[in-house]
A and B are shown apart, each in its own frame.
Chain A
Amino acid sequence: MIAPAVQPLAAPVAERRVLIRTVGLKKSYVKKGILTEALRGLDVEIYAGEFISVMGPSGSGKSTFFNMIGALDSPSQGRVFIDEVDVAQLTAEELAYLRCQKIGYIFQSYNLIQYMTALENVTTPMAFGGVQPDEARRRGMRILEIVGLKERWFHRPIEMSGGQQQRVAIARSLANNPSVLLCDEPTANLDLHTGQEILDILVRLNKEQRVTIICATHDHRMMNVCDRLMWVRDGRIERIARREDVKIEIGSIGGKRDAAKASKEATP
């Protein structure tokens, strides 16, 4: 599953296959008679194998956008295509298959199942996908090894630190060898050092396995490693830019002043 050899860095950008495409995506909620427009027409194309960061203040519609492209919610208007398949056309069973096999979710608060061990957490999506228990355990151990938690497979989430939990969550999202990883602020609850570790794992997955990673974040280190950046504001795309085109100056990890400056420069 994992290619041991390191792939050339330029490869994902050169390959221009569109993996996720949204067309005129709109979403509005009516709650207690008040109409809230979360998305007001959003068109974006995300290429296979790329690492894209989505940025935006809270309430910008970032989460709604995430739910749409993760096949967790249906839009009021517009369409979402995942590898040219219209998500709205899928049945409940097919949606479950898509979530199970093709998309990996990483949450801000890890969302591990509390009563399962690390290994059980990793093997649960495999069980849903119909993998035999022995095979699932073997694969689960291998994935735990990738995230560096092989020795702690029998620990429950409560016995692990935040960083370790997030690594288990990454392992779980990789369980069925997905094509897309959707990360919702994966480093927000972690300190700088562990956050960097998680980032490193994500980057490695992106480079070595060419997994498409879509990452909502406020973390400026993310800009440093992603291929493209996307800003969302008021339910619309404000700007999409390649990393090379954005001037980011980050001196050192944790350089607060530098990071703040970088964000000012990055946001037009």
Chain B
Amino acid sequence: MKPIVIQEQPRLSFSRTVWIAVDGIRYRLFRAAVTVAVIGVAVAFLMNILSESFIKRAVAANTRDRIARSRLVHQWAARLMSPGDAEGLLRELAADAPGAVAEAARFGGLTAAEAETLRATARRAARLLDFLGEINYARRRQLVHAYTGVDALGYLATADGERSFIETLNRTAAIRLPFSREELKALIADWPAARGRLDRILSGRRAAVARLAEARGGRSILEALAGAEGAFGDEIRAAGFAFDAQTAAPEVAAQARRELDTRWIERALDVRVARQMVAQHFDALPGDVTVMQLWRFVASESNAARFLEAMKAAGEGREGLTAERVVELAGFRREASALERAARLTVGVGGGWMGLGERLSWLLLVSMLVCAIGISNAMLMTVTERFREIATLKCLGALDGFIMLMFVLESCMLGVVGGIAGGLLGAVIGMGRMLAAFGGIAGGAMPWGALGAGVAASIGVGVVLAALAAVYPAFRAARLAPMEAMRVE
């Protein structure tokens, strides 16, 4: 008979613990499936909202970008029609667009060094104007009286203006300049010279605009720009504008032609035969025909050919406009209206936590809480059910830590499964909904990286949630007295 020697119980290896937990789950598959479903639904909700918000943001950025690019011809038309004002010029210089500085130097007859100092001043001035635009009215009134825009800078350049500005700054601690006093001083000192140069550039521009007006003769600016690849483009460059023949000119010309053709087709609604044709096709009264119906009508090539013939017969024909071109224009028009729709739908996107908006964040929080309580409840029931088993394991020498770990691990595994299922489900539902709402725009702008990260994050949230929810039930299990094993029902 060997004597009893008491030692410390060793810890069970982690892999063995995992296997015991897995066996436990396999034995109670149905309950585990229900718990997984609870986690899965919550995670799917999270991932759905996340993915929709990601896709919406991507679509919004994509749409804004494309709309800006499609308005290139309007930007150029505006530039070539009017010289603009000092503030616009200032911002143009500060924005550092390619060629802008050289163009300004040409118009103002400045040397390269002068143009460079002007740009530096313009940057500082733009920052100061931004700052003045952001602070509230009372503060701005204190700082620069009623002056706005470049007039405020002009006021600062006077002795009185500078003194009162600096005094107000010193007096009011709440007003913080976004740059140092030295920079402010430099700006004020540079301003009068810069203002003079800006005026010179503007007068140079005015002359260039006048020269272009002469060059296009009686044509409208759009008609003139339609030939931007040829002689008119050369005119623009000769007048001094930085109008790049390789990049800007073809795009501007194509957009101008498209705009002209589009306008001509839309004006066709004034022609009786065209209107009747569309009305017949849609079985509507000629007076009710809309522009969008007209576009839908000409989207097919046979209709477009009939439409062109009718117009020609009515004496309203247009040279160089073929049926294919009309169909193409209808496509452009459809795309433009899809872009507009997308832009409208994504107006308020990006606010609140992770771009979710406050309401949704709150909803998410509540759903996570409900999920945690559900998991806790399921795990507590499991503990109650496994009462005798836990007590027996403790009789066999299980440490409290092992019991605790076993339950937390079990919950974690359910969390992983639920997280993966829910994450993928939520992402798929979100993508489907966004594809239905935005069509091809969403398909092209799908933020795959963000979505992948979102799925990973959702899985993580599921696991952490499950682990946290299991802590209390696991603690209860670990505290169970081993003598419960002796109890007989």
Residues of A participating in the B interface, judged by any CB pair closer than 8 Å:
15, 17, 48-49, 63, 66-67, 70, 72-73, 82-83, 85, 90-94, 96-102, 105, 107-109, 111, 113-116, 124-125, 127-130, 133, 172, 176, 179, 184, 210
Chain B residues near A97: list those with CB within 8 A: 6-9, 397
Which one, B19-27, B260-268, B343-351, is touching chain A?
B19-27
CB-CB < 8 A to B27: which residues of A? 114-115
User: What B residues does A67 contact at CB under 8 A?
Assistant: 483, 486
Question: How many chain-B residues does the 8 Å CB contact rule pick out?
Answer: 36
Q: Which of B9, B10, B388, B392: most chain A CB closer than 10 A?
A: B9
Would you list the 9 A-B pairs with minimal beta carbon distance, nearest first? A100-B397, A115-B27, A83-B4, A128-B397, A96-B9, A130-B10, A72-B483, A97-B9, A67-B483
Q: Indicate which residue in B4, B23, B399, B481 contacts A92 across the interface (CB closer than 8 Å).
A: B399
Of A73, A83, A116, the contact of B3 (CB 8 Å cutoff)? A83
Give CA–CA (A184, B482) in the complex, Å.
Answer: 14
Question: Is the CB–CB distance between A129 and B1 below 8 Å?
Answer: no
- In the bound complex, how far is the Cα of B389 from the Cα of A130, in angstroms? 20
Contacts of B9 in A (CB 8 A): 93-94, 96-97, 100, 128-129
Complex: A48 Cα to B4 Cα, angstroms:
11
Q: How far is it, in angstroms, between the C-alpha of A108 and the C-alpha of B489 when the chains are bound?
A: 11
**B20: A residues at CB distance < 8 A:** 124
Contact (Cβ within 8 A) A99 B396: yes
Q: Which residues of B contact A85 (CB under 8 A)?
A: 4, 6
Q: Once bound together, how far apart are the Cα atoms of A91 and B6, in whole Å?
A: 10
* Interface residue B57 (Cβ < 8 Å from any Cβ of A): no
User: B394 an interface residue at 8 Å Cβ cutoff?
Assistant: yes
Q: Which residues of B contact A111 (CB under 8 A)?
A: 388-389, 392, 395, 485
Task: Give B370-407 interface residues, CB cut-off 8 Å to A.
Answer: 388-389, 392-400, 402
Residues of B within 8 A of A15 (CB): 1
A185's nearest neighbour on chain B, judged by CB, is B488
Are A127 and B16 touching (Cβ within 8 A)? yes
How many angstroms between the C-alpha atoms of A100 and B389 in the bound complex? 15
> In the assembled complex, how far is the CB of residue B486 from the closest CB belonging to chain A, in whole angstroms?
6
Q: Please, how many angstroms separate the alpha-carbon atoms of A217 and B421 in the complex?
A: 53
- Docked complex Cα distance between A108 and B388 (Å): 12
Is B2 interfacial (CB-CB < 8 Å)?
Answer: yes
Instruction: Give me 26 A-to-B residue pairs in the complex whose CB atoms sit less than 8 angstroms apart, sorted by A's number.
Output: A49-B1, A67-B483, A72-B481, A72-B483, A93-B9, A94-B6, A97-B7, A97-B9, A98-B6, A100-B396, A100-B397, A107-B486, A109-B488, A111-B395, A114-B389, A115-B26, A115-B27, A116-B23, A124-B393, A124-B396, A125-B397, A127-B16, A128-B398, A176-B397, A179-B4, A184-B486
Considering the chains assembled together, what is the distance between the CA atoms of A49 and B397 in angstroms? 23
Interface bits B1-45 vs A (CB < 8 Å: 1, else 0):
111101111101100100010011011000000000000000000
Q: How far is the CA of A5 from the CA of B19 in the complex (A)?
A: 39
CB closest chain-A residue, reference B22 = A115
Partner of A73, one of B2, B13, B483: B483
CB distance from A90 to the nearest CB of B (A): 6
Per a CB cutoff under 8 Å, which of A96, A107, A125, A210 touches B399?
Answer: A96
Rounded to whole angstroms, the CA-CA distance of A109 and B484 in the bound complex is 12
- Chain B residues closer than 8 Å to A113, beta-carbon distance: 389, 392-393
A137 CB, min distance to chain B CBs, angstroms: 13
Chain B proximity of A21: nearest CB distance (Å): 13
Contacting residues, chain A, for B24 (C-beta < 8 A): 115
A176–B6 CA distance with the chains assembled, in angstroms: 14
Do residues A128 and B12 form an inter-chain contact, with CB atoms below 8 A?
Answer: yes
- Give A128 to B16 CA distance when docked, in angstroms: 10
Question: Would B395 and A105 count as touching, CB distance under 8 A?
Answer: yes
Do B486 and A128 touch (CB < 8 A)?
A: no
| A187 to B488 CA separation, bound complex (whole angstroms) | 14
If A72-B395, A107-B485 touch, whether A94 touches B8 (CB-CB below 8 Å) is yes
Which B residue sits closest to A98, measured CB to CB?
B6
| Further pairs besides A73-B481, A83-B4: 18, Cβ < 8 Å | A70-B395, A72-B395, A72-B485, A82-B4, A90-B6, A93-B8, A97-B9, A99-B482, A101-B397, A102-B6, A105-B396, A107-B485, A107-B486, A113-B393, A114-B27, A176-B397, A179-B1, A184-B486
Closest residue of chain A to B27 (Cβ to Cβ) is A115
Assembly CA distance A15 to B9 (angstroms): 30
- CA distance in complex: A90, B400 (Å): 15
Cβ of B486: which chain A residues have Cβ within 8 Å of it? 63, 66-67, 72, 107, 184
**Contacts of B481 on A, CB cut-off 8 Å?**
72-73
What's the Cα separation between A89 and B392 when bound, in Å? 23
The chain A residue with its CB closest to the CB of B1 is A48
Shortest beta-carbon distance from A215 to chain B in Å: 14
Q: How far is B1's CA from A99's CA once the two chains are assembled, in angstroms?
A: 18
A99/B394 contact (C-beta < 8 A), A93-B399, A116-B23, A128-B9 known: yes
Q: In the complex the two chains form, what is the Cα distance from A72 to B398 in whole Å?
A: 13
Alpha-carbon distance A106/B483, docked complex (angstroms): 12
Contacts of B396 in A (CB 8 A): 99-100, 105, 124-125, 128, 172
